[in-house]
């Protein structure tokens, strides 16, 4: 076994151990609930995702939806209202906050979650180092995902934006599978690109041998070229036929 593979296995083992520790603590202070595919989260409790996929969406004044963050198992969310009350924020930050009714968490798949009362979580947080670790981890991942989303500017060409998303989300190891939740419709919602344009770009990526499908799984066959397009080092023409 190579040193790199061994390091990867140790890292995976450590992550699994920490996840087990987080879940045990949260189960002791929370209750398990099911959120069916398509349902909106209607609770003020802090949530920990055990299974499935949830998304945080922003809804514009005309009802248009934009997907902002994907919450995968092991992620804590819905904790910001409590943090705002517990930790002092700059007045300018508070003034900039958007109305909560502009955002909603929705289940993309059938999900199992733990609900934890905010006050109970705060009391446990005062003495639990693992919960502090989980909170910082979740905050960091959410911030990185939002920064990545904001950096994928609508001013960039649509193929570059889609390739940037694929480059960020595909698995590192061959065959470089793309998460199954990134359907054409989901990419359209996440990047605010018309679904027809998304379909045309993927057709062109397939024709160029950059992506391929194995059953229902989308894979990146030529990651180097995909990254070149994502970085703007190579243009990509898709308006053919």
In this predicted model, what pLDDT tens digit does every residue of 189-205 receive, in sequence order? 999 999 999 999 999 99
Q: Residues 161, 191: contact at Cβ < 8 Å?
A: yes
Compute the distance between CA of residue 241 and CA of residue 170 in angstroms, rounded to an integer. 29
> Per-residue pLDDT tens for 39-53?
999 998 999 999 999
Compute the distance between CA of residue 84 and CA of residue 179 in angstroms, rounded to an integer. 33
> Per-residue pLDDT tens for 158-190?
999 999 999 999 999 999 999 999 999 999 999
pLDDT at 240 over 90: no
Burial code of 211-226, b = ≥16 C-beta within 10 A, e = fewer? beeeeeebbbbbbebb
| Range with lowest mean pLDDT among 5-14, 29-38, 82-91 | 5-14
Domains of the chain: 3-151 (2.60.120.10), 158-230 (1.10.10.10)
pTM (predicted TM-score): 0.80
Residue 163 burial (CB < 10 Å; 0-12/13-18/19+)? buried
Q: Calculate what percentage of the chain has a pLDDT beyond 90.
A: 63
Torsion 216-144-61-101 (CA) sign: positive
Q: Residues 148, 168: contact at Cβ < 8 Å?
A: yes
Q: What is the mean pLDDT of residues 58-65?
A: 80
Look-up: residue for tokens 């199954």?
A: 180
Q: Which residues contact 16 (CB under 8 A, 6 or more apart)?
A: none
Compute the distance between CA of residue 196 and CA of residue 129 in angstroms, rounded to an integer. 48
Q: Which of 2-11, 98-107, 155-164 has the highest mean pLDDT?
A: 155-164
pLDDT reported for residue 93: 62
> Per-residue pLDDT tens for 138-154?
999 999 988 988 889 99
Number of alpha carbons in the 13 Å side-chain half-sphere of residue 43 = 21
């Amino acid at each position: 076994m190579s040193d790199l593979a061994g390091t990867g296995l140790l890292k995976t083992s450590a992550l699994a151990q920490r996840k087990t520790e987080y879940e045990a603590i949260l189960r002791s202070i929370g209750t398990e609930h099911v959120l069916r595919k398509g349902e909106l989260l209607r609770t003020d409790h802090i949530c920990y995702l055990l299974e499935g996929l949830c998304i945080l969406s922003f809804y514009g004044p005309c009802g248009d939806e934009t997907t902002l963050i994907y919450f995968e198992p092991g992620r804590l969310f819905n904790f910001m209202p409590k943090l705002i009350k517990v930790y002092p924020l700059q007045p300018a930050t508070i003034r900039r906050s958007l109305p909560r009714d502009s955002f909603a968490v929705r289940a993309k798949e059938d999900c199992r979650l733990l609900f934890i009362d905010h006050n109970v979580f705060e009391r446990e947080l005062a003495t639990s180092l693992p919960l502090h670790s989980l909170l910082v981890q979740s905050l960091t991942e959410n911030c990185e995902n939002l920064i990545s989303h904001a950096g994928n500017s609508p001013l960039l060409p649509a193929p570059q934006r889609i390739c940037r998303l694929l480059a960020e989300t595909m698995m590192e190891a061959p065959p470089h599978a793309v998460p199954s939740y990134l359907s054409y419709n989901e990419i359209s919602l996440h990047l605010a690109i018309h679904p027809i344009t998304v379909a045309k770009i993927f057709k062109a990526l397939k024709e160029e041998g950059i992506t391929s499908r194995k059953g229902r799984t989308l894979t990146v066959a030529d990651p180097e070229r995909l990254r070149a397009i994502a970085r703007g080092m190579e243009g990509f023409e898709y308006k053919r036929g």
